[in-house]
Amino acid sequence: MLDKSHMSRDEGFAALEALLGARLNRSQSDRDLHGRAEGHFALMPPDAVAYPETTAEVAEVVRICAAAGLPVIGWGAGTSLEGHAIAPRGGVCVDFQRMASVVQVQPEEMVAVVQPGITREALNTELRATGLFFPVDPGANASLGGMASTRASGTTAVRYGTMRANVLGLEVVLADGRVIRTGTRAPKSSTGYDLTALFVGAEGTLGLITELTLKLHGQPEAVSAAVCAFADMAGAVDAVIATIQSGIPMARIEFVDRAAAACFNAQSGADWPDAPHLMIEFHGSDAAVAEQAARFGEIAADFGAEGFRWASKAEDRTALWAMRHNAYRAMVAANPGCVPVTTDICVPVSRLAEAVEETAAEIAASGIPGPIVGHVGDGNFHALLLPKEGDKAEWNRAMSLAANMAERALRLGGTVSGEHGIGMGKLKYMQSEHGDAWQVMAAIKAALDPGNVMNPGKLLPGN
């Protein structure tokens, strides 16, 4: 092992090349690929991209970077929405595409151990024969390491929880190259600080996740999904609230506003009416799913739902949820020449109606396209704001709309990000949401990464 206590940047890159050979890529094209984020972020390329194959290599990369003063940024599938994985200060992007295997599946324990680079679709393909699945579904085919790092959730969190609830343990490379394990395979534990929960959602600022132990769930015996239309937004949202309060267990319940429905139609050739919609899915035994669907149908009818379309066949459900998963792309495609600005507020479900309605009214008044979709069972919704590219006035109005949404979420007891995370995009709201607790996060960061090696410029104050 090299003496890495006083390394120049050039010595750092040389050491990384000695370690990884061709698996350290410094080409402009690869750097640019890893400097781009979804959304409106400027290109911020790293100085090099590393493709480690083992935890030991990741640890050595981190040690070298720490010694040479090079930032270290993890990269999964590049699908994050807040610029989490771009490199505002250069440094080394650690791309986990060569650490993307299922290490172990233990069906009788309902546990899978995976490497961080595997995507959720690849994992579920491997699990298919076991009768189990990993339920967290943020829409994009994200990597599990990235999903853990952003505390992702998505359409199924209303039933199965977010990554917070579905990661049992982690292997993490710390900023000094030490490798630790957090958590166990047992369903619960009370042995000290919940480090698993600390690293889930830390956005790579405290260490790099090199292995995840995941909780699996049984594939439901029966699944039934439907979409239905409402005369107005209030009817749809109130139907959600009533359904939740009735205790009907839903696997998914998604709101799609009129503008978003139009984008879905344009993208997929569907013929949804020009109205707000709810998409819903139930998981359970045949009898339970039938009962739940019937009860939901009655509640929704009370709020004016019409045109129910049930998708009991797997291929119909796949087509239905593909529309929802492609929402971002459909909205961007329907608004050529616009810059997508994502929003992601989450409020108590009882405040959802006012949050959505105030937001929709303000967007309508702004003249900027802003279709709304939401994981409304969790009180979480997104307006995709689409100001015209190069139109400074529209950009500023979009920023005001986003800021007002954040302020609204906090006023209603909620949060400025339900699932996308902070990255660089939502840094400006952290002080308002957390106050002094943000300084506590900074103290933890300073304790575990005093050199600010891990993903600097994200999540934390003055960073």
Determine which residue in the list 79, 119, 150, 342 makes contact with a second copy, applying CB under 8 A. Answer: 150
Q: Least distance from C-beta 222 to a second copy, angstroms?
A: 11
Identify which of 312, 293, 290, 294 has the alpha carbon closest to the alpha carbon of residue 253: 293
Containing H/E element for 260?
helix 258-268
Determine which residue in the list 152, 216, 279, 320 makes contact with a second copy, applying CB under 8 A. Answer: 152
Containing H/E element for 461?
none
Determine which residue in the list 79, 115, 156, 182 makes contact with a second copy, applying CB under 8 A. Answer: 182
CA distances from 235 to 84, 228, 240, 358 (A): 36, 11, 9, 15
Q: Examine residue 436 and tell whether it contacts a second copy (CB under 8 A).
A: yes
Q: Examine residue 162 and tell whether it contacts a second copy (CB under 8 A).
A: yes
Q: Least distance from C-beta 413 to a second copy, angstroms?
A: 4
Q: Examine residue 434 and tell whether it contacts a second copy (CB under 8 A).
A: yes
Q: Examine residue 190 and tell whether it contacts a second copy (CB under 8 A).
A: yes
Burial of 429 (0-12, 13-18, 19+ CB in 10 A): buried
Could you tell me the sign of the dihedral formed by the alpha carbons of 51, 53, 57, 58, in that order? positive
Q: Which is nearer to a second copy, 375 or 397 (CB)?
A: 375
Determine which residue in the list 59, 67, 157, 311 makes contact with a second copy, applying CB under 8 A. Answer: 157
Determine which residue in the list 418, 425, 456, 457 makes contact with a second copy, applying CB under 8 A. Answer: 418
Name which of residues 377 to 396 contact a second copy (CB under 8 A). 378-380
Q: Which is nearer to a second copy, 267 or 417 (CB)?
A: 417
Per-residue binding string, a second copy, 439-458, x by CB under 8 A, is: -xx-xx-xxx----------
CA distances from 63 to 2, 71, 204, 383, 458 (A): 10, 11, 15, 41, 20
Name which of residues 212 to 271 contact a second copy (CB under 8 A). 218, 220-221, 241, 245, 247
Q: Which amino acid is at 47?
A: D
Q: Categorise residue 247: left if φ over 0, alpha if ψ from -120 to 50, beta otherwise.
A: left
Containing H/E element for 136?
none
Q: Least distance from C-beta 369 to a second copy, angstroms?
A: 25
Integer Cα distance of 406 and 5 in angstroms? 44
Phi, psi of 338 (to 5 degrees): -110, 155
Per-residue binding string, a second copy, 330-359, x by CB under 8 A, is: --------------x-xxxxxx--------
Q: Least distance from C-beta 20 to a second copy, angstroms?
A: 25
Q: Examine residue 202 and tell whether it contacts a second copy (CB under 8 A).
A: yes
The token pair that represents 198 in the structure block: 């600390």
The token pair that represents 379 in the structure block: 């009180």
Q: How many residues bind a second copy (CB under 8 A)?
A: 88
In three-state secondary structure terms, 178 is coil
Using the rule CB under 8 A, give the single segment among 122-130, 151-159, 254-262, 312-320 that binds a second copy: 151-159
Q: Please count the CA atoms within 13 angstroms of the CA of 127 that sit on its side-chain side.
A: 30
Q: Which is nearer to a second copy, 241 or 320 (CB)?
A: 241
Q: Examine residue 198 and tell whether it contacts a second copy (CB under 8 A).
A: yes
